[in-house]
Amino acid sequence: MTAAVEFVGVARSFGSVKALAGVSLAVEEGEFFGLLGPNGAGKTTLISIAAGLTRADAGTASILGHDVVRDYRAARRALGVVPQELVFDPFFSVRETLEIQSGYFGIRDNGAWIDEILHHLDLTSKANANMRSLSGGMKRRVLVGQALVHKPPVIVLDEPTAGVDVELRQSLWGFIRKLNRDGHTIILTTHYLEEAEALCGRIAMLKAGKVVALDTKHNLLSRFAGITVRVGADRVPAAWQPRVLREEGGLHFVALDHYADLEMLLQEMRKEGLAIRELALLEADLEDVFLKIMGGDLRGAPAGAAA
């Protein structure tokens, strides 16, 4: 199967700054893929290379098998990008903006699809309003609409919910999820880790221009976040003290590597006659994984990184 988006050994420097240091990564068709990393990790550079906005110093990128440089027309037709910057053309209305964007892709009479986009993005009442008169959140939704005018099979959203209020964020994600169910491949970069956790099936984490983790969300969570157990007791056995993440009013948060460790902990507490007042297993979240990976605490090799 052809990958929706494939990067092979992509490197790019800006002056002495190495933005990307050899990134290889394949996103399969139909995935909802997350690209995470701190500022300056190279996420936007990577996306810009896929979109043909930036040239790679080395390596190749392709969209559905079309090389983004050699076969740029087919590659760009297959790709819709929602840029990070809130940009607009002040000369035009919302509908004109979407019609003109359709025309750039050689599509005329796109009215029915534009109406549908406007409806899903809750912009129907603003169709004839000038872009200047829109709020930031509305402008952001027009950008999403512009990325969809040509019904691209692959959609990249670069920080799409910055500045969009919570309610609209939900409806935006509803729409993007629907597009994913309809078969569109979605690639998302976001600073909101809870968004990535809620939406993405597979996640790549970038750090200093390198892929430091690449796996399903489920595997990342179980692999990197480990398990935290909250034990209410006077103390935990001395051997377990180094594993205590924090303590709050007699509650000890203990990091476990495996569920088997829980059995050991309980045995030792029984042995020392420590009464357990409360016991709860805490679910890991992506933020823990993110912080652990970005902090360099990898506990072994990253799964499938640079594969």
Token digits of residue 241: 């003290």
**Does 270 help bind other proteins (rule: CB under 8 A)?**
no
Q: Which is nearer to other proteins, 18 or 230 (CB)?
A: 18
What does each C-alpha distance from 145 to 77, 80, 112, 125, 157 come to in angstroms?
15, 10, 13, 15, 11
- Contact residue for other proteins among 31, 44, 77, 288 (CB under 8 A): 77
For other proteins, the binding residues in 161-220 under the rule CB under 8 A are 183
Paired strand residues for 134: none
What single-letter DSSP state applies at residue 284? Answer: P
Token digits of residue 127: 């169709």
Q: Which is nearer to other proteins, 85 or 263 (CB)?
A: 85
DSSP string, 4-71: SEEEEEEEEEETTEEEEEEEEEEE-TT-EEEEE--TTSSHHHHHHHHTTSS--SEEEEEETTEETTTT
* Cα–Cα distance, 290 to 103 (Å, whole number): 41
Q: How many other C-beta atoms lie within 10 A of the C-beta of residue 226?
A: 18
Q: 57, 61, 60: which is closest to 11 by C-alpha?
A: 57
With CB under 8 A as the rule, give the number of residues binding other proteins: 39
- Coil, helix or strand for 74? helix
- Contact residue for other proteins among 34, 37, 42, 83 (CB under 8 A): 83
**Does 76 help bind other proteins (rule: CB under 8 A)?**
yes
- Contact residue for other proteins among 44, 62, 146, 190 (CB under 8 A): 146
The nearest distance, CB 301 to other proteins, in angstroms, is 34
Do residues 68 and 61 touch, judged by C-beta distance below 8 A?
yes
The nearest distance, CB 103 to other proteins, in angstroms, is 3
**Does 141 help bind other proteins (rule: CB under 8 A)?**
no
Kindly indicate which of the ranges 151-159, 191-199, 218-226, 279-287 contains the residues binding other proteins, using the contact rule CB under 8 A: 151-159
**Does 74 help bind other proteins (rule: CB under 8 A)?**
yes
Do residues 192 and 175 touch, judged by C-beta distance below 8 A?
no
For other proteins, the binding residues in 85-114 under the rule CB under 8 A are 85, 87-92, 96, 100-108
Q: Which is nearer to other proteins, 89 or 272 (CB)?
A: 89
The nearest distance, CB 52 to other proteins, in angstroms, is 7
The nearest distance, CB 303 to other proteins, in angstroms, is 33
- Contact residue for other proteins among 54, 124, 216, 219 (CB under 8 A): 54
Q: Which is nearer to other proteins, 48 or 62 (CB)?
A: 48
User: 227-232 and 66-67: which strand pairing?
Assistant: unpaired
**Interface with other proteins (CB under 8 A):** 14, 48, 51-55, 72-74, 76-79, 81, 83, 85, 87-92, 96, 100-108, 146, 150-153, 183
